[in-house]
Amino acid sequence: MESLVCTSPRQFAYQQATKPVLTPGNAIVKIRRIGICGTDLHAFEGTQPFFNYPRILGHELAGDLVEADSAPEFAAGEAVTFIPYFNCGYCIACRSGKPNCCARLQVSGVHIDGGMVEYLSVPAYSLVHGGGLTHDELALVEPLAIGAHGVRRAEVQPGEVVLVVGAGPIGLGTMEFARIAGATVIALDINESRLSFCRTRLGVAHTVNAQSPDVAGQLADLTNGDMPTVVIDATGSLRAINTAFSYLAHSGRYILVGLQKGDVSFSHPEFHKREATVMSSRNATRADFEHVISNMKKGLVDPTTYITHRVGFEQVQAEFEHWLNPANGVIKAMVTMV
């Protein structure tokens, strides 16, 4: 079968690979869609933590089940996605019901080879029923689940004001699920076209350009001086992460969904006097996947809204570099496999 390998930063190569065979406890999926996410783009750039080369990228995936062992509730030929964070099952996190932050976690397309292939072997326990959703929709469940998990970590309550920093795909999904939780959402980004997308396509109540003067003052005006009770970073930008501590309300919660390589720093007195909470949000759980799929079926989320670019598998090598340029207006690139 054909695969696309990121051999080193900014270098792809199509290579022939051995088609996987069924082994105990696993399943074979014929890949139909591959969503391109920030993790893939950062890996291509050489700025992704927890990453080694060469690597086959891809973890926003949908396909058709070919065969499976130990998955009696699944049928060959059905459309599926899967949870691409493979956990050990016995570490402290797994025993605590948090397999998304397993101490020995292996993420498809990051720690191990991912889905830019024709066929992929995955643990049978990771399979998720398609439930009548299209392949496009199923490929977008995972990135939306990232945002849904961050909102759940924040314990967002109806009527709260949630500031989402970063209007990329993960940030957009975070805004959607903050809205579903009953919050008033403020989007903060440096890209005016993405802020326009938030207003016109997602109905976000308020948007603020991070490059405008006195961002904190604008947030204060929008919250009657209170500031947002929840701030969620979805940028992975060290500068953005550090700056957003100053946007947090007294008694507020700051959730870091975005990831970067540097050290986070903030004023301890300013943080302390707020009795604020800071926490990370890593990956997602099956409950988050099910929450996303349920809201898709209800029509509360239309994931295909995010797809702005579409290419065939054979075009990825030539097109990938263009998706890094903000001027090209990429929200979500989707790869189609035949």
What local confidence, expressed as pLDDT, does residue 255 receive?
98
From first to last of its 338 residues, the chain has per-residue pLDDT tens of 999 999 999 999 999 999 999 999 999 999 999 999 888 988 898 877 778 899 999 999 999 999 999 999 999 999 999 999 999 999 999 999 999 999 999 999 999 999 999 999 999 999 999 999 999 999 999 999 999 999 999 999 999 999 999 999 999 999 999 999 999 999 999 999 999 999 999 999 999 999 999 999 999 999 999 999 999 999 989 999 999 999 999 999 999 999 888 899 999 999 999 999 999 999 999 999 999 999 999 999 998 889 999 999 999 999 999 998 888 889 999 999 98
Topology at the third CATH level for domain 2-130+303-336: Quinone Oxidoreductase; Chain A, domain 1 (3.90.180)
Report the C-alpha gap between 199 and 237 in whole angstroms. 23
What local confidence, expressed as pLDDT, does residue 338 receive?
83
DSSP, res 248: P
Strand 60-68 relative to strand 26-36, pairing: antiparallel
Question: Do 210 and 240 meet the contact criterion of CB atoms below 8 Å apart?
Answer: yes
What local confidence, expressed as pLDDT, does residue 112 receive?
94
The pair of three-digit structure tokens given for residue 268, joined into one six-digit string: 């301890």
What local confidence, expressed as pLDDT, does residue 319 receive?
94
The SS3 of residue 241 is helix
Contacts of 260 by beta carbon, 8 Å cutoff, 6+ apart: 49, 236, 237, 238, 241
What local confidence, expressed as pLDDT, does residue 262 receive?
84
* Residue ranges of domains in the chain: 2-130+303-336, 147-280
Question: Do 283 and 107 meet the contact criterion of CB atoms below 8 Å apart?
Answer: yes
Report the C-alpha gap between 234 and 301 in whole angstroms. 19
Report the C-alpha gap between 205 and 145 in whole angstroms. 22
Dump the DSSP string for 275-291. T-EEEE--S--HHHHHH
Burial 291-310 (b: 16+ CB within 10 A, else e): bbbebbeeeebebeebbebe
Give Dmax (Cα) for the chain.
60
What local confidence, expressed as pLDDT, does residue 327 receive?
85
Report the C-alpha gap between 120 and 19 in whole angstroms. 8
Topology at the third CATH level for domain 147-280: Rossmann fold (3.40.50)
What local confidence, expressed as pLDDT, does residue 150 receive?
98
List, in sequence order, every residue forming a beta bridge with 65; answer none if it has no partner: 29
Q: Report the predicted TM-score, pTM, of the whole model to 2 decimal places.
A: 0.94
Question: Do 266 and 239 meet the contact criterion of CB atoms below 8 Å apart?
Answer: no
